[in-house]
Amino acid sequence: MTPIISVIIPVYNTGTYLRRCVDSILPQLPDESEIIIVDDGSTDSSPAICDDIAASDRRITAIHTHNGGASHARNTGIEASRGRYTMMVDSDDTLEPDRIIPLINRMEAERLDLLTFGIYDIIDGKRRLNNVSGKPHSAVSGAEYALRHTIEHSPCTFIVLRKTIGDLRFQEGVIMEDYSFCLELYERCRLIAHSPEAVYNYIIRKESVSRSRGVDADRHRMHCWAKILERMASRPWTETYRPAAQRWIAHYKLEAMKQLGHCRLSISERLRIRRTLRHAGIDGSGRPALPSLRANVMRMMLETTPSAIVLWLVCDLRRIIRGALS
Give tens-digit pLDDT for 108-161: 999 999 999 999 999 888 899 887 666 778 899 999 999 988 888 899 999 999
Above 80 in pLDDT, residue 235? yes
What is the rounded average pLDDT of the residues 53-81? 97
| pLDDT score recorded for residue 289 | 44
Determine the Cα–Cα distance for residues 184 and 73; give it in Å rounded to an integer. Answer: 19
Determine the Cα–Cα distance for residues 292 and 287; give it in Å rounded to an integer. Answer: 13
Determine the Cα–Cα distance for residues 172 and 177; give it in Å rounded to an integer. Answer: 7
Select from 260, 246, 245, 237 the least CA-distant residue to 298. 246
User: Residue 304: pLDDT band by 50, 70, 90 thresholds?
Assistant: very low
| pLDDT score recorded for residue 217 | 87
What sign does the CA torsion over 138, 144, 146, 147 have? negative
pLDDT tens readout for residues 91-109: 999 999 999 999 999 999 9
Select from 196, 198, 159 the least CA-distant residue to 8. 159
pLDDT tens readout for residues 159-217: 999 999 999 999 999 888 899 999 999 999 999 999 989 999 999 876 554 455 678 88
- In the chain, where do the E strands start and end? 5-11, 34-40, 60-65, 85-88, 94-95, 114-123, 126-130, 158-161, 192-203
Above 50 in pLDDT, residue 293? no
Determine the Cα–Cα distance for residues 237 and 249; give it in Å rounded to an integer. Answer: 12
Above 50 in pLDDT, residue 285? no
DSSP character string of 91-124: TT-EE-TT-HHHHHHHHHHHT-SEEEEEEEEEET
| pLDDT score recorded for residue 62 | 98
Determine the Cα–Cα distance for residues 319 and 286; give it in Å rounded to an integer. Answer: 34
Determine the Cα–Cα distance for residues 239 and 103; give it in Å rounded to an integer. Answer: 31
State the pTM of this model: 0.83
Collapsed DSSP state (helix, strand, coil) of residue 88: strand
Percent over 90 (pLDDT), the chain:
57
Select from 178, 168, 110, 114 the least CA-distant residue to 144. 114
Above 50 in pLDDT, residue 305? no
What is the rounded average pLDDT of the residues 214-228? 87
